[in-house]
Amino acid sequence: MTTQSPQSPAIPTDRLALIKPIALVVLLAVALAVPSAAPVLFPGTAIMAIAVFTVLYAACASAWNIFSGYTGYIALGHAVFFGSGAYALAIMCKGWHVHSDYGPLLLLPLCGVIAAIIAIPVGIISLRTRGHTFVVITIATFFIFQLLAYNLRFITQGSAGLELPIPSWSGAAFDPPFYYTGLLILLLAVGASWWVRRSKYGLGLLAIKDDEDRARGLGVRTGPSKLLAFTLSAFFVGMLGGLWAYYIESVFPNSGFDALFDVAIALMVFLGGLGTLAGPILGALILIPAQQYVASDRTLTSWYLILYGALFLVVILLLPEGILPTVRKRLIQWRGRRPATGAAPGATPGAFPGGPPRSGPPGRVAPVSSDGGER
Amino acid sequence: MLLKLTNVVAGYGGGDVLQGVDISVERGSITCIVGPNGAGKSTVLRVVSGLLKPRIGQVVFNDRPIGGLSPRQILALGIVQVAQSHSLFPKMTVRENVRLGAFMLNDRALVNRRLAEVEALFPLVRERADERAASLSGGQQRLVEFARSLMLDPTLILLDEPSMGLDPKALRQVMGMVTTMRQTGKTVLLVEQNARAGLSISDHGIVMESGRVRLEGSHQEILSNPEISSLYLGGTIAGPARPTMP
């Protein structure tokens, strides 16, 4: 038996409880200040464009994590919902003659609903499978939708693509509305992810991730639970697809339904930490600025693909659990090596009373020792 | 009588593992099923918990037929099964594992109350609450599995070989805990490969062989039967099968 719990607190719990909300407020303040501070700190650069893509992909990664991170089903077809949201906004703007600056932004929730509606049949079919089969089916679904975008010309105009309204904002005023909208969706996605993680529903998803059959045996409705997470995830990704299309002012089959979209999202989440709240954001904060920087340099164009490949190798070899879980594990190990300062009163680590368990009269039960035998 | 199986025939694929099983479990008792590998002991538990539907026969719990119900419906009736081994979710924390035992309850206050009761009974659950279940020893994992099974405040607990893989010290503690659960008013139906350990804590013993009940009686009667040892050595018990309870 181990003689000391690795959970021995090195930092008082009340201090830890304070650190988290303070850090969150600081992060939020920094995020809100980016559009004001960026042009001053980095004049003449495309920093705001990078910031827009970063919040957009951070939100996509957080949304993807609600499904894949919590259930363990690795979906590589979320570009279906991203592209569907993008096309939905373009079609709605065209069909309803939406030209005002903020009009398309107000239609984003509808893009999310359309993506979620598409996710229901896709989920019902693909979630009948598990493991590698599920991954292959999601990829196949992606290609079906990309082909549809090419071939349903009466809706999508095929390879000619669709154009979106061009907002009247110009210069430094162009990016902030997109940035703040992306930030709002990011906050909503993280809020949903936080709620899922802390709820009974999320507990069921984590049980599915560990062992789906066992979860069912405990009363978890595995099918509807997975489908709900899949649909919720698609809702956010659909909204972000609409935002992305409005930002770049057009959508084409190969850009809306981009095979690299899911690779990038999965890499961000794996890099930061699959199934964690902050991991997807951290992954996006590392990957997107690097990718945008490499892609913006004419001599390095397309090198970001090599960057993706190299990072995937680094993550698989050195950080299989991602940055945050690895840091957390190291921290716990470090604390475990420090002299115990917070042992529970009365607890005698490693002690075993010996002999048969105590038992009292009916209705009065003696507690059981924490020692269940040797490992 | 809390649970009664009458002429149950059930199996997997084409074959019937259980070939007309009759078993009765008294309320508030520990009933232990022993027998050699392949006798159908664990299959009985799978039938009772709804994981396997009987092809023929009746399963009655609390005067209600439950033979065709889903595992979830049976769980809701108060029958909980603790699987053969390693039934915890290894990557989840101890507390999350125990909370999952009450997944079907929607009353958060009730779940918290149950958790407090279970933590009082199993201090381990509180002491190691935030650690991954995989970090516990085999005996500790068994105790957490027991703790989880109590979260629904079940009437009947089905235990599938709780002694499997445990050293003598852990085995003593786990078997003691089974007795403790009975003392809290639970009925336990236990399947054990370690016949002596299982029968020694039981009120009633059942010996199965080749999908049938061959012997039953008090644990002293079973343990003192000279044919039991020959059964475990590959022999068979003389005389016809006893498909019905006396």
Residues in chain A closer than 8 A to B87 (CB atoms): 214
State the pLDDT at residue B233: 38
pLDDT confidence tier of residue A373, bands split at 50, 70 and 90: very low
Which residue in A62, A90, A64 sits closest to A75, CA to CA? Answer: A64
For residue B159, what pLDDT is reported?
Answer: 94
Considering only the beta carbons, identify the residue of B83, B103, B137 that sits closest to A220: B103
SS3 A370: coil
3-state DSSP assignment of residue A163: strand
Contact B127 A370 (CB under 8 A): yes
pLDDT of residue B31: 96
The answer, yes or no, to whether residue B124 has pLDDT greater than 70, is yes
- Please report which helix (H) or strand (E) contains residue A287, including its range: helix A279-296
Neighbours of B118 (CB within 10 A): 23
Strand B30-34 and strand B204-209: the pairing is parallel
Query: Residue A103 in contact with residue A97, Cβ under 8 Å?
Result: no
Mean pLDDT computed over B58-86: 91
CB atoms B127 and A214 under 8 Å: no
Q: B27 in contact with A at a CB cutoff of 8 Å?
A: no
Min Cα distance B124 → chain A (Å) is: 4
pLDDT of residue A332: 80
Residue B119 has pLDDT above 80, yes or no: yes
Inform me whether the pLDDT recorded for A15 exceeds 70. no
Q: CA dihedral in degrees (B165, B169, B170, B175; nearest 10)?
A: 100
What percent of chain A shows pLDDT beyond 90?
59
Q: Quick one: closest CA in B to A348, which residue?
A: B127
> What residue in B sits closest to A358 (Cα-Cα)?
B176
Under a CB-based contact definition with an 8 Å cutoff, are residues A220 and B103 in contact?
A: yes
Measured in angstroms, the CA of A71 and the nearest CA of chain B are apart by 13
Q: What is the mean pLDDT of residues A260-283?
A: 94
Q: Using CB atoms, pick whichever of B71, B90, B103 lies closest to residue A210.
A: B90
Does domain B3-232 fall under CATH 3.40.630.40? My reply is no
Q: Residues in chain A, how many?
A: 375
Q: Nearest-CA residue of chain B relative to A374?
A: B137
Question: In angstroms, rounded to a whole number, what is the distance separating the alpha carbons of residues A179 and B127?
Answer: 45
Chain B nearest C-alpha distance from A3 (Å): 13
**Candidate from B71, B137, B177 with C-beta closest to A217:** B71
Average pLDDT over residues A313-337: 85
Q: State the smallest CA–CA distance between residue B105 and chain A in angstroms.
A: 10
B145 C-beta neighbours (distance < 10 Å), count: 22
B91 touches A at CB < 8 Å = yes
What is the average pLDDT across A5-27?
65
Interface test with A, best of B126, B173, B175, B186 (most A CBs within 10 A): B173
* Residue A265 CA to its chain's centroid (Å): 8
The C-alpha angle A42, A46, A49, rounded to 5 degrees, equals: 120
A373: chain B residues, CB-CB within 8 Å: 137-140, 166-167, 169-171, 173
Distance, in Å, from the CA atom of A62 to the CA atom of A52, rounded to the nearest integer, reads: 15
pLDDT for the residue A186: 96
Average pLDDT of chain A is 84
Phi and psi of A130, rounded to 5°?
A: -135, 170
User: In whole angstroms, what is the distance from residue B95 CA to residue B115 CA?
Assistant: 9
Residues β-bridged to residue B33: B191, B206
CB contact under 8 A, B136 and A372: yes
Tell me what pLDDT residue B2 has: 95
Q: Return the closest-CA partner of residue A53 out of A360, A351, A295, A222.
A: A295
Closest-CA residue of chain A to B123: A370
Q: What is the pLDDT of residue B113?
A: 95
- The SS3 of residue A304 is helix
- Alpha carbon of residue B70 to chain centroid: 18
Residue A167 Cα, gap to closest chain B Cα (Å)? 48
| Highest-scoring range by mean pLDDT, A72-86, A200-214, B172-186 | A72-86
- Complex ipTM tops 0.90: no
Q: Smallest Cα–Cα separation from A259: which of A139, A349, A173, A365?
A: A139
Could you tell me the domains of chain A? Answer: 13-332 (1.10.3470)
Q: Which residues of B touch A204 (CB under 8 A)?
A: 100, 103
Q: What pLDDT does residue A16 have?
A: 63
Q: pLDDT per residue over A211-222, tens digit each?
A: 898 898 888 999
Task: Measure the CA–CA gap between A298 and A301, rounded to whole angstroms.
Answer: 5
pLDDT in tens, B204-240: 999 998 999 988 998 888 888 877 766 653 445 544 4
Contact call for A365 and B180, based on CB within 8 A: yes
Interface test with A, best of B105, B166, B169, B203 (most A CBs within 10 A): B169
For A214, the closest chain B residue by CA position comes to B87
Check CB contact under 8 Å for A372 and B180.
no
**Which of A206, A363, A368 comes nearest B92 by C-beta?**
A206
- Which of A169-178, A186-195, A289-298, B158-167 shows the lowest per-residue confidence on average (mean pLDDT)? A289-298
Looking at the predicted structure, is the pLDDT value of residue B32 above 80?
yes
Does the pLDDT at position B49 exceed 60? yes
Q: Quick count: other Cβ atoms within 10 Å of Cβ B37? A: 8
User: B161: distance to nearest CA of chain A, Å?
Assistant: 16
Choose between A204 and B224: higher pLDDT. Answer: A204
Q: Does pLDDT of A314 surpass 80?
A: yes
Among A4, A218, A220, A333, most B C-beta atoms within 10 A, so best to mutate, is: A218
pLDDT reading at A359 higher than 70:
no
Q: Which residues contact A152 (CB under 8 A, 6 or more apart)?
A: A158
Provide the pairing of β-strand B79-82 with B204-209. Answer: unpaired
Query: Using one digit for the tens of pLDDT, what is the confidence trace for A296-308?
Result: 777 776 777 888 8
Which residues of chain A make contact with B76, given a CB cutoff of 8 A? Answer: 219
Q: Please list, in sequence order, all residues whose beta carbon lies within 8 angstroms of the beta carbon of residue B163, skipping any fewer than 6 positions away.
A: B171, B174, B175, B192, B193, B194, B197, B198
| Residues forming a β-bridge with B156 | B79, B187
Contacts of A215 in chain B (CB under 8 A): 89, 100
The amino acid occupying position A121 is P
Q: What is the pLDDT of residue A22?
A: 87
pLDDT at A370 over 60: no
Question: Residue holding tokens 């697809």?
Answer: A241
Residue of B nearest to A349 (CA): B127
Both tokens assigned to A183:
């930030």
* pLDDT for position B163: 87
Query: Do the strands A162-163 and A250-251 form a parallel or antiparallel pair, or are they unpaired?
Result: antiparallel
pLDDT at A295 over 80: no
Q: What is the mean pLDDT of chain B?
A: 88
Give A199's contacts in chain B (Cβ within 8 Å). Answer: none
User: How far is the C-alpha of A269 from the C-alpha of A50, rounded, in Å?
Assistant: 19
Chain B, window 144-203: residues with a beta carbon less than 8 angstroms from a chain A beta carbon: 166-167, 169-174, 176-177, 179-180, 183-185
User: Is A373–B140 a contact, with Cβ atoms under 8 angstroms apart?
Assistant: yes
Q: Is residue A368's pLDDT more than 90?
A: no
Q: What is the pLDDT of residues B80-109, one digit of tens each?
A: 999 876 789 998 999 999 999 999 999 999
> Nearest CA to CA, how far is A262 from chain B (Å)?
26
Whole-number pLDDT of residue A77 = 96
